[in-house]
Structure 1
Amino acid sequence: MRGRPVLAGLLGGLAAAGAHRVLTDRVRSSRWTRTNHAGSEVTLLEGPAWVAGGVLGAALGGPAGALAAGASGALGALDDLAGDGSSKGLRGHLGAAARGRVTTGAVKVVGLGVTGLVAAVLLDRDRDDVRALDTLVGGATVAGAANLVNLLDLRPGRALKATVLAAAPLLLWPAATPHAVRSRVHAAAAAGAALGVLRPDLAGTAMLGDTGANAAGALLGTALVGRTGRRGRVLALAVLTAATLASEKVSFTAVIESTPGLRELDAWGRPAR
């Protein structure tokens, strides 16, 4: 089982890259096309490609990661294909629901919560060091991570870089127990799938969309929850909640572009314009 993280990363990367080539060659529907921040047409088929790689790689670590990535990707696809874009952000979707209008975004919010909880239950079912409350917090952490990565998918490469950077400490963290090794597998699958589709994303010809970004965040959240107990999960959930609430008031892009180091990292790999 010790070699599974490496295999998961390789499988995730190769599957994501291969799926992206096949999908972009064969799918011609305009429903998967968007206009990006620069006014260029991009394909959202990178999202399903990432899901294919992420799910295949994560499956080597048990059902929790594969379910989290697959279900979150499906919920993201619902928003990508059926969302009307009239309501933005968590506040917008909740506000619409309060007025009696159920948006695809609101369905996704509920669905991500359920998905996160099921993933946490699967992770915790063979652990004696966690309780029901810890599992509830873990489920919310998975859902929060799925949402946060989606909030970063605003510039080429940004969400994928964040996925790889977030996975790195989970991969370097020593793994002495079976659930820790499974966490490494999930982190490796997330990073591998991200690297597999990084090139077209940086080139500005494709983007994750809700499909890929929600799936990537959910798999990262699953990897984190698999390594932590109550304290770690509460801390992670607090950070995710604070970042989500901040996104309603502050532009992440403005913060990144005004911060040395973050600005250069964010721009790295994009073609000069």
Structure 2
Amino acid sequence: MRARVRRELARTNYAGRTVSLAEGAAVVAGTTAVLALAGRPREAGMVGGIGVLGLVDDLVEPHRRRADGAAPAKGLRGHLRALTRGEVTTGAVKVLGIPIIALVGVAPAGRPGPMTLVDGALVAGGANLVNLLDLRPGRALKVVLPLAAVLAVRGERAAPGPAPAAGGDGAAEGTARPRALARTALLAGGLALPADLREHGMLGDAGANALGALVGAAAVRTLPAPARVAALLAVAGLTLASERVSFSRVIDATPALHALDRIGRRAAPEPGAGA
């Protein structure tokens, strides 16, 4: 049984090395448990649900492709095009399911406020964007960890005290524990980073979606409305750009970004050499 589980979780990365998706599954389980213990059941359910959709995509889609002999659908347009052909991919389930889970997770307990759609879109967009960055060891985590640190500092400065009544713009909800979400992302990302850089594991859709949603949720709970709108515009712009431009090409062509991307990573094998 253990050998079968290891085979199901094994993947070949960009360098031809074998890595395990167990890292991503552990991120989903760990962040969900920490948030639940911290008294954040709504965010725990949201991050856990989004992570499970990612795990389904990680595990089910390869079997479906092997059975059908179909080429993988890539990007938002690819999954939506597959839907128009009557083909339901696990990626399409994520495209539809993640925004719904995000909206439920950020909606105030009372009447949803005017920022609810923005907040839900920011959480869903964050989940997708971090997944788009998870193409090289440590790359997604090098984005998640600084953002989580900034949000943790922002939460530190938030006024303490009991959370106000629901129905506002969402940022004030949970101000009694404004750092819980960002700290959880820091903890999970920091623990996952060594294995990710050594290419022993990878976040996969599960871990990347969960961490992206968690950082998005931290932004929702700590930033004022104008900053959240600006963050959503930035996330949307990068997501749309990814449909036409390769992030890896841009990073490799930009010396500063390339140097940052290489920090802590193993050397890539020489062309033609075995992994």
Shared fold per TM-score greater than 0.5: yes
Give how far 1:113 is off.
0.6
The C-alpha deviation readout for 1:162-204, integer Å capped at 9, x for no partner, is: 1101101101111214424534110110111011111111001
Unaligned runs of 5+ in 2: 66-70, 164-173, 269-275
Unaligned runs of 5+ in 1: 1-24
The answer on 1:118 being equivalent to 2:104 is: yes
- Secondary structure of the 1:249 match is coil
Identical-residue share of aligned pairs (%): 48
Q: Structure 2 length as normaliser, TM-score?
A: 0.83
Residue 250 of structure 2 corresponds to: 255
Q: Distance in 2 between matches of 1:183 and 1:251?
A: 35
Residue 150 of structure 2 corresponds to: 169
Give how far 1:233 is off.
2.5
Q: Distance in 1 between matches of 2:258 and 2:129?
A: 19
Larger Rg: 2
Q: 1:196 to 1:181 in 2, by over 3 A?
A: farther
RMSD after superposition = 1.9
Match of 1:32 among 3, 9, 27: 9
Q: Residue type of the partner of 2:158? A: A
The C-alpha deviation readout for 1:231-255, integer Å capped at 9, x for no partner, is: 2332222111111100011111111
- Secondary structure of the 2:54 match is helix
The answer on 1:81 being equivalent to 2:67 is: no
The answer on 1:133 being equivalent to 2:111 is: no
The structure whose residues are more often helix, as a share, is: 1
Q: Structure 1 length as normaliser, TM-score?
A: 0.84
Q: Distance in 2 between matches of 1:81 and 1:241?
A: 27
Contact 1:183 1:222 (C-alpha < 8 Å) held by counterparts: no
Q: Residue type of the partner of 1:77? A: L
- Secondary structure of the 1:111 match is helix
Count of matched residue pairs: 244
Contact 1:64 1:222 (C-alpha < 8 Å) held by counterparts: no
- Secondary structure of the 2:51 match is helix
Contact 2:145 2:189 (C-alpha < 8 Å) held by counterparts: yes
The C-alpha deviation readout for 1:54-107, integer Å capped at 9, x for no partner, is: 122223151232122201110001100111362111110011111221111111
Structure ranking higher on relative contact order (CA contacts 8 Å, 6+ apart): 1
